[in-house]
Amino acid sequence: NIRNFIKETVAVLEDAGIQYEMIVVDDGSRDATYEEARAAAQAHPSVKVYNCAKNMGKGYALKYGLQFTAGDRVLFMDADLDLPPHQIPRFIDCMLHSGRDVVVGSKWHPLPQLDFPRSRRILSKAYHLVVRLLLNVKVTDTQTGMKLYKREVLEKILPSLVVNRYAFDVELLAKAARLGYRIVEVPIELKLHGKSSVNFRAVLRMFFDTIKLSYRIRVVDNFKKRIEP
């Protein structure tokens, strides 16, 4: 999907008259994703492609990619076309008009357009409950792969993040909320491309990572605050 993703995203941004830079990060893929992305980027000077030598996790890839950006607003987006790029201008408009610091796409907003399996809906709801109970993050959907941040939020928080894989989004949003940054959710359009399956090992790892994250934020970080002069 990577060629079509780059083509469609560029078309959306240019049609909307948005000044942009697109940073594509290949997280150590073992197929030809990196080569395909580089070939697609040749026609678009504002698209840059980078890769990690080995798979390091979504969180690491996003932090790695951020160093190549210069914009005041940074949008993280999955590149599999499950989230149609035509939604990007709506995220930007929401941030500009609401004055919020973070705009999060949510599958559970009252007005989403969804097409994904019941099993994934159940897991998403269950994970939301865990996140709300353990971390008190008042966001209905932390895992949908489209989020817009003011750059200052990322520069403040990313250096302190320790999760590089499954719970990266949760840690970032939890710390943003604790620091008083304003978060707003918008409805998301989601339509899976190809066959969808649930990796239960990854699901369990994400739950365990979230529990460890809760301990670190609630206990370790609070303890450090008390002992710091």
Q: Which residues of 102-138 are buried (b: 16+ CB within 10 A; e: fewer)?
A: bbbbbbbeeebeeeeeeebeebbeebbeebeebbebe
0.75 cut: is pTM over it? yes
Task: Render pLDDT for 90-136 as a digit per residue (tens, 0 to 9).
Answer: 999 999 999 999 999 988 766 555 555 666 666 666 666 666 666 67
CA dist., res. 124 & res. 196, Å (int): 14
In tens, the pLDDT along 124-173 reads 666 666 666 666 777 888 888 899 999 999 999 998 888 777 778 888 99
